[in-house]
A and B are shown apart, each in its own frame.
Chain A
Amino acid sequence: MSELLLECQNLSFSYHTPEGEIPVIRNMNFKIYKGEFVSIVGPSGCGKSTLLNLLTGMLSPEEGFVKMSVSGEEKPRFGYMLQQDHLFEWYDIWKNICIGPKINHCLDAECEQYLKELLKRYGLSAFIHKKPSELSGGMRQRAAIIRTLAMKPELLFLDEPFSSLDYQNRLNAANDIGQIIRKENKTAVLVTHDIGEAISLSSRVLVLSKRPTAVKKEFLLPYRDMNLTPLEIRNTKDFGTHFNAIWKELNNS
Chain B
Amino acid sequence: MEGVEQQLKEKIPISDRQRQYLHQQHVKKRTIRLFRILILIAFLALWELASRLEWIDSFFFSSPTRLADCFVYMTAENALFTHIGISLLETMLSFLFIMTFSVACASLLWRFEYVAKISEPVLVILNSLPKSALAPLIIVWLGTGMKTIIIAGISVALFGCIINLYTCFQNTDPDKQKLIYILGGKKHHVFTKVILPAGVPTIISNMKVNIGLALVGVMIGEFLAAKQGLGYLIIYASQVFKLDWLILCILILCLIAIGLYEILHIFERKICK
Using a CB–CB distance below 8 Å, which chain A residues touch chain B? 56, 58, 75-76, 79-80, 82-84, 86, 88, 90-91, 99-100, 103-104, 151
Contacts and interface: CB of A to CB of B under 8 A. Distances in A.
A83 to B, nearest CB: 7
B182 interface: yes
Interface stretch (B22-30, B108-116, B173-181): B173-181
Interface residues of B, number: 17
Nearest to A82: B175
B182 A86 contact: no
B208 to A, nearest CB: 19
B184 A86 contact: no
30 contacts: A56-B182, A58-B178, A58-B181, A58-B182, A76-B183, A79-B182, A80-B179, A80-B182, A82-B175, A82-B178, A82-B179, A83-B175, A84-B175, A86-B176, A86-B179, A88-B176, A88-B193, A88-B197, A90-B197, A90-B198, A90-B200, A99-B180, A100-B183, A100-B184, A103-B183, A103-B189, A103-B193, A104-B183, A104-B184, A151-B183
Q: Name A's interface SS.
A: loop
A103 to B, nearest CB: 4
Contact of A86 (B175, B181, B185, B197): B175
B185 A103 contact: yes
B184 A75 contact: yes
Nearest to B182: A80
Nearest to B177: A86
Q: Which 3 residue pairs spanning A and B have beta carbons closest together?
A: A90-B197, A100-B183, A80-B182
Interface string B148-175: 0000000000000000000000000101
B194 interface: yes
B6 to A, nearest CB: 10
Given A75-B184, A80-B182, A103-B180, A86 B173 contact: yes
